[in-house]
Structure 1
Amino acid sequence: MKKIMITSLKSILLFTIICGVIYTAAVTAVGQVLFPNQANGSLIKEENAGKTSIIGSKLMGQSFTEEKYLHGRSDQVSQLSPVSKEQKMRVEKRVQEADKKQVPIDLVTASASGVDPEISIEAAMTQVDRIATTRNMKNSQVRAIIKQNITGVKIGTIDSKRVNVLGVNQSLDESE
């Protein structure tokens, strides 16, 4: 019995070292070498008076509520079924708040994580008038900034093009 216990403990120790230390270190090293920006969180940094500060990440959405900014998806996490009554009530409320007849779906539904960094091109373009008016800009200037921040590709019928909300808002602030 004692021999079985010692063998079991040795196995636990061995696999802890292999899986918990060696494998983790190897994956981290590969990530740092091949994908350093993503492995470090795709942080967006801003330099002011010689001091660098982190203002966000390309991978995580932030809540922008001021009228002068492009708004992303709701940051209220939702695990509701798309056909549930509660989800229907939330969407209807957000459509009323938007005060428009047609609102892109990603502006009235919440994501499962609450941190989506991107919205559809359609959702971004519906906000052009508000942003341009608030910032005293031409609609064409705001559209150009949005187009500069489109990511993804379109291959045949598969379209993954999206607009990075933080990137647009940074560009808008820089254009002032």
Structure 2
Amino acid sequence: MNRPAEARSRKQIWILIGAFFAPLALAFLLYYGLDIRPHGSTNHGDLIHPPVTLPEVALPSIADQTFAADALRGKWSIVYIGDGACDERCREALTLMRQTRLALGDDMSRVQRVFLVSGNCCDQAYLDAEHSGLLLGRIDNPAGQTLLEPFPDTTQASTLGRIYLVDPLGNLMMKYEPGAPQKGLLTDLKKLLKLSHIG
């Protein structure tokens, strides 16, 4: 019996097995053992995880416009919270919201813009001239505070200059800080509208 040839044959088999399984074992170790995973995401806003369902509350009317209890249901809502005097950040945010909706083209009817006003309501001449169709709701009242409660950083929400995204079921799901890329809101919304069968 040729034992050296048999040993050589076994050795070659183990080399082949090792060559096949070594990369798999290394990948498994890196991915799970050392937790070297891609942590980036494709969205530009910050996900609110888990999404928070907003309460259904009617808000006091502004300029003969009603804010019904189900105002944040049925459509995707881009929401800004801030003072009604509308400072520079407020104007930037409302303009971004308007331009983002217009850029959606045929899908723009699935999206509404909402300004939740925390006080000093309102620079109506500016809003009428620049933001026709903007849904307004006052939150400087008990009903408004109930609506505001689920938002992140509730007590500061009206001063942070954030834009929020609410899905057609009334779930608060994303927030955009003032420094977020301006095209990020549009990119995220296009993706959500493409994938969504609601609203």
TM-score under structure 1 normalisation? Answer: 0.28
More strand by share: 2
Higher Rg: 2
TM-score under structure 2 normalisation? Answer: 0.26
More helix by share: 1
